[in-house]
Structure 1
């Protein structure tokens, strides 16, 4: 329990350092089945930029997830290993997991990176804004889709 509370405190504090490149508002999207089929930006993301974002402590990905990142020490073990993410989930499913992971597991500790409503304990700088921009979501999706076993 103490580990979970400490983790959540680190997670919330880390979110304060995410890039201010967020869009002013949210791009509308449609959930179809268990994913979001269409890019939030209308174009595919850049996998190289996505890798940088996944490894950045500011996005908090590697606080919980481990993966094929030999240069990165202290990877998380609270969430699934990202190795093979591209063959476990479709691009559509990856996109929805980043946009709003609570659609899959209501009590998840994974932040909803592209939501601005219905959230609790939101820092002043994030009220009414997503944590990641649509372009950042697409970049991370593009990178995760390249991770095959």
Structure 2
């Protein structure tokens, strides 16, 4: 997902402090919130054209006329990755692939070229990350 396009949402999670998490291998095995996310809210976030996934990804979203083609199709996400692996990809995809165009949705340190209004603020909240993970886990092939 293109970081530049995502910056259209100034600080939606600005008032939140980042919660700690542990990376184990290629995953964050435990929920950022300590609870499961809501798949319905996660789907709404995924298809929100102005902010997240559908800008670059396509998937089982028949109501969305235009879907991204820069990144893998989200159909079958849970068949290809575990919950923890999906969580790490949302939190900090460049940790796994430094050349990815997918932004770090829940990281604020060590980033370059961040607009003043967004410095020190994650793109998504911990709850939103968990909601998206919950939705992606419903996508099986």
Structure 1 and Structure 2 fold alike (TM over 0.5): yes
- Counterparts of 1:123-134 in structure 2 under 5 Å? 123-134=115-126
Structure 2 Cα separation of the partners of residues 65 and 131 of structure 1: 17
Deviations 1:4-25 (A, max 9, x none): xxx95xx414422267245522
Structure 2 stretches lacking a partner, 5+ long: none
Q: Which runs of 4+ in 1 moved over 6 A?
A: none
Shift in CA distance, 135/47, structure 1 to aligned 2, threshold 3 Å: same
Q: Which moved more, 1:96-105 or 1:17-26?
A: 17-26
Partner of 1:3: none
The answer to whether residue 57 in structure 2 is matched with residue 65 in structure 1 is yes
C-alpha spacing 1:107/1:36, structure 2 compared with 1 (3 Å): same
Higher helix share: 1
Query: What TM-score do the two structures reach when normalised by structure 1?
Result: 0.88
Is 1:75 the counterpart of 2:71? The answer is no
After superposition, give the CA deviation of every residue in 1:102-147 in whole Å (9 maximum; x if it has no partner). Answer: 1221010001000001111112221011110000000000000100
**Structure 1 unpaired stretches of 5+:** 1-6
Task: Kindly report the root-mean-square deviation, in angstroms, between the aligned alpha carbons of the 2 structures.
Answer: 1.6
2:22 corresponds to which of 10, 17, 30: 30
Pairwise CA distance, 1:60: 2.6
Question: Distance between the aligned counterparts of 2:61 and 2:117, measured in 1?
Answer: 30
Q: Equivalents in 1 of 2:77, 2:62: separation in Å?
A: 17
* Residue among 75, 90, 115 paired with 2:107: 115
Contact 2:11-2:121 within 8 A present in 1 as well: no
1:144 to 114, 126, 136: 136
CA distance in 2, matches of 1:18, 1:135: 18
